[in-house]
Amino acid sequence: MIGFIGKNKTKMKRFKYLSALMLISITVYFDNSQEACKVLCRAQYSASIGGRNEPIEGVSISISESDAKIQAPIAYITDKNGQVYLSLIKGKTYSITVSYKGESKTVKLPYNGEAVLLISIDPKKPLIHDISFLAPTQIETEGGEILTISIENLVWLFIGVMIALVSSTIYHHWRRIK
């Protein structure tokens, strides 16, 4: 390596250039890896508060990131099955406000990859009893988390590698002509 560096400064410049391109492509790849997860939100008259887990239609859910300084909340309304799908990012904390017939309740919950956000409401009073995530669906291995890679992220990585290879080929061709 020392001989490589000392013999030709242009080779070192090319090495630095290719290293920088590869670092940029890897950075873009991992920065884009935070994907929103689709989470089922279910509003129901839970058995734990006297109901039979009946769905509740027309529940308003407003969600915003807790650590965001300025961000308008995204509002959702449950359908006739008491369900709506939310988009959340794993590892972030959210401020969730649930409103139903004039009553509202706000909680801050961290999202850790759970599949369901359950809202327990007593429609007779009306009273919002509980807002909580159910257990995660992904099983984590003892060695760490399961890594999920999307096609979009692989495309960005491929583009970065291709840019590095094309620039290297152009450089070699240019050196031969000179």
pLDDT at residue 117 is higher than 50: yes
| Residue whose entry in the numeric block shows the structure tokens 């529940």 | 59
Q: Give the integer Cα–Cα distance in Å for 133 and 22.
A: 39
The answer for residues whose C-beta is within 8 angstroms of residue 163's C-beta and 6 or more apart is 21, 25
| 46, 120 contact by CB (below 8 A) | yes
Domain boundaries, the chain: 36-133
Q: Which CATH superfamily is domain 36-133 in?
A: Carboxypeptidase-like, regulatory domain (2.60.40.1120)
- pLDDT on residue 88: 86
List of residues 6+ apart from 119 with CB closer than 8 A: 41, 42, 43, 44, 59, 61, 98, 128, 130, 131
pLDDT digits (tens, 9 = 90+) for 59-116: 999 998 877 666 678 889 999 999 998 888 888 899 999 999 999 999 999 988 888 8
**Contact between residue 70 and residue 81 where contact means Cβ atoms under 8 Å apart:** no
DSSP 150: -
pTM comes to: 0.57
